[in-house]
């Protein structure tokens, strides 16, 4: 487990601009744009090396929408 944490620590500064929890509208919009780009690259290929990242970013967006966009909560 220590080696996995060390790897994460080493690569996190590179990933942090792409994978992050959005705290405001501008960060949310940036994350949506990143997801759109990933969708263009990955498509529906579940075996693509970025498919998991696309899924994680989708979950982060969904969480933000549930907490901050009232009209989506009513649907």
Question: Which two tokens mark 16?
Answer: 């942090």
Question: Considering the domain boundaries, does residue 4 fall inside one?
Answer: no
On whether residue 33 sits in a domain, the answer given is: yes
Cα 43 from Cα 50, distance rounded (Å): 10
Mean pLDDT, to the nearest integer, of 33-58? Answer: 96
47 inside domain: yes
Mean local confidence (pLDDT), 25-30 = 97
Residue 73 reports pLDDT greater than 90: no
Q: Is residue 9 in a domain? A: no
Structural domain range at position 65: 19-74
How many domains does one find in the chain?
1
Residue 9 to residue 17: CA distance in whole angstroms: 14
pLDDT (tens digit per residue) in 52-68? 999 999 999 999 999 99
Residue 75 pLDDT greater than 70, yes or no: no
């Amino acid at each position: 487990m220590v080696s996995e944490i060390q790897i994460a620590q080493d690569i996190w500064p590179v990933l942090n601009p792409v994978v992050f929890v959005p705290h405001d509208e501008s960060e949310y919009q940036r994350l949506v744009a990143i997801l759109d780009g990933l969708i263009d690259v990955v498509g529906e290929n579940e075996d693509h090396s970025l498919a998991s990242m696309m899924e994680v970013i989708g979950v982060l967006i969904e969480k933000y929408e549930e907490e901050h966009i009232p009209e989506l909560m009513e649907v």
